[in-house]
Chains A and B, each alone.
Chain A
Amino acid sequence: MVKRRPGTLFPLELDILDVGTVLQASEGSFYGFALAKRLAGPEGKLAAHGTLYKALSRMSEAGLIEEDWEDHEIAAAEGRPRRRMYRITAVGAAARNREHARLVDEHRVAARVADQGIA
């Protein structure tokens, strides 16, 4: 797998943390397809299986999210395969905040350079 620069996140990882934070706030946890739906945007283009689940696997190994399988009984009662449920960890939440702060800084620097260039 591609190695992440220390202290940074891949764009998809940041998206997953952003969407996961919203889903976790309302549902307590989230699963792969729920993420795919939210990430799809208005045109409804779902993330590829390999891309999404590889990213989740990598984030889990990095401790950004934790995973657990849903109870068989819940899934059986609803007549569907059980879901692998994810939760964002404290490490993941901190990484998300750090990445947003970094992006804001980068944006400010870029805006300043553009302003100076125009002036």
Chain B
Amino acid sequence: MSLLHTRTFTTTAHWVLAWCAQYTRGLPEEVAAARRDELASDLHEHALWADEAGWSAGRLRRDIVRRLVTGSIHDVSWRAHQLGRSAVSDPRHAATVRTAHRIALWMLALGVSLTVLGGYTYARIIRAIIIDDLRVPPLMAMLVGVLAVLSLVGTALTARRRTRIVGAVALAPPTLLLGYVAVESLSLISATGVQIAFWADHLTATAGSLGLLAAGVGISSLLGLVAAAIWWWPPTTSMPATEAGAES
């Protein structure tokens, strides 16, 4: 059987084209299509050549993957160059792409921060329970756990364009509550937390100032999240061509 029709080859070719789809995102469609078609031709010729040379499907896969991996830095550099060119020829499109990337990055950064905060706080609560330092109410411990899981799920969903809206919805509760709940929990179980809360209250001459700050940051971040969700609405790909290119 020709290597062209083996599952190994079709899967590997799919990897190459999937990577191509990643680094041509946001580029003008004709540029992306040209690169995709050129790669499809290259992969086809590669398989025929390997067939003639008597290669196994596994050897062909290894060679395609090697070409894919060793050229990936050049793919990224080519993309940066093409983005620069499209910015010159169509500044409005380039500005839209940049904004979309920044919003997506902000959502990801928010999700990762919440996941880290939630995970850390939950780990400290578990440790406190293990060492019988049960000063955190069980309801609060459970809430931290749920918010940490929501943060993780929301971050994962945010990474993909199609699920970004669902990701924003999942991130909403931890965005609003996790900072406040984490501050309150850590001030009960962590000596450092107690010290920091004391200093913050002393500096601002306000009791519970750290919790108030966390609540404020939570509310403003939630507003940012709503704005980001509106930007990414609708979740399907039926958007104008310029914004479709901005998918990240």
Give A residues with C-beta under 8 Å from B.
Answer: 1-2, 31-34, 36-37, 44, 46-54, 57, 69, 80-84
Contact = CB atoms under 8 A, between A and B. Distances in A.
Interface stretch (B43-51, B197-205, B232-240): B43-51
Nearest to B82: A57
B67 A54 contact: no
A29 B131 CA distance: 76
Contact of A33 (B35, B41, B66): B41
A54 B42 contact: no
A81 B40 contact: yes
Contacts of B44: 80-81
A50 B72 contact: yes
A54 B73 CA distance: 10
Main secondary structure of the interface of B (DSSP, over half): helix
6 contacts: A33-B42, A44-B53, A48-B67, A48-B70, A51-B71, A53-B38
Given A31-B41, A36-B42, A83-B41, A48 B81 contact: no
A7 B56 CA distance: 44
B247 interface: no
Interface residues on B, range: 20 to 34
Contact of A48 (B34, B35, B38, B71): B71
Contacts of B46: 33, 46
Nearest to B42: A33
B74 A51 contact: yes
B78 A82 contact: no
A37 B47 CA distance: 12
B41 A1 contact: no
A54 B40 contact: no
A53 B37 contact: no
A42 to B, nearest CB: 13
B67 A49 contact: yes
Contacts of A34: 45
Interface string B71-108: 11111111011000000000000000000000000000
Most buried by B among A1, A34, A44, A53: A53
A49 B46 CA distance: 11
A73 B238 CA distance: 32
Most buried by A among B45, B66, B72, B77: B45
B37 A84 contact: yes
Given A1-B78, A46-B63, A84-B34, A52 B71 contact: yes
Contacts of A44: 53
